Amino acid sequence: MGVFSRFMDIVNANINALLDKAEDPEKMIKLMMQEMEDTLIELKSACAAKIATKTKLDRNRNEVEALLERWKKRAELALERNREDLAREALLEKRKAATNFDQLVEDIARYEEIIKKSKDDISKLEEKLQSLRNKYQAIVERATRIREQQAASETMRKATDHEAFSRFDKMEQQVDRMEAQAGMSKSGADTVESRFADLEEMEAIEAELEALRKEAKGSKQ
């Protein structure tokens, strides 16, 4: 397929419709961008070749224009010297140069149109390529956001997983049992301590009571 045919296919393509049908829009855009970039390189190369040809035609036209002037002056010189034969030959050469000059002017005008169209085509393709690059960037950013959201959802799913909560419940129950056991041990220790305290208090009361008895007996005597 020629560069012009590829260019027309690309320019006339409905990118949005193609992307809607694509299974992998990101991959599709990358392929399309590569195709556009390759076509753009070929268009610019072809345009540069046309510009080079026109430059050569311009140079030839200037040379022929100078030749026209030279044959005109020669014809005038021949007439001044009464050499009509040479004047006729000079005018004949001048006419040939004029024909060549007219053809060069026509070719230059044609190449100017071709170059103008080539530059317009390049501008259109560059605009389309930039639009595609913008779409690609938007798709990449969108895909990145989706992947981040999926990762966050997966993290949340794991965090709220029933099995995870079950493990936490078991750990909590184990801690509750340990606290209960510690409380029972402390309660048992407090009971023994209180019994000894009661016993000691009773002993003190008995001693005080015995002292009062002795005091009462002494006062009776």
Q: Which of 134, 133, 124 is nearest to 39 (CA)?
A: 124
Amino acid symbol at 202: M
pLDDT digits (tens, 9 = 90+) for 51-60: 999 999 999 9
Element (H or E) spanning 211, and its range?
helix 162-220
pLDDT digits (tens, 9 = 90+) for 143-157: 788 888 888 877 777
Lowest mean pLDDT among 10-14, 34-38, 64-68, 135-139: 10-14
What lies within 8 Å, CB to CB, of 1 at 6+ separation is: 9
Q: Length of the chain in residues, anyone?
A: 221
| Joined tokens for residue 56 | 């050569």
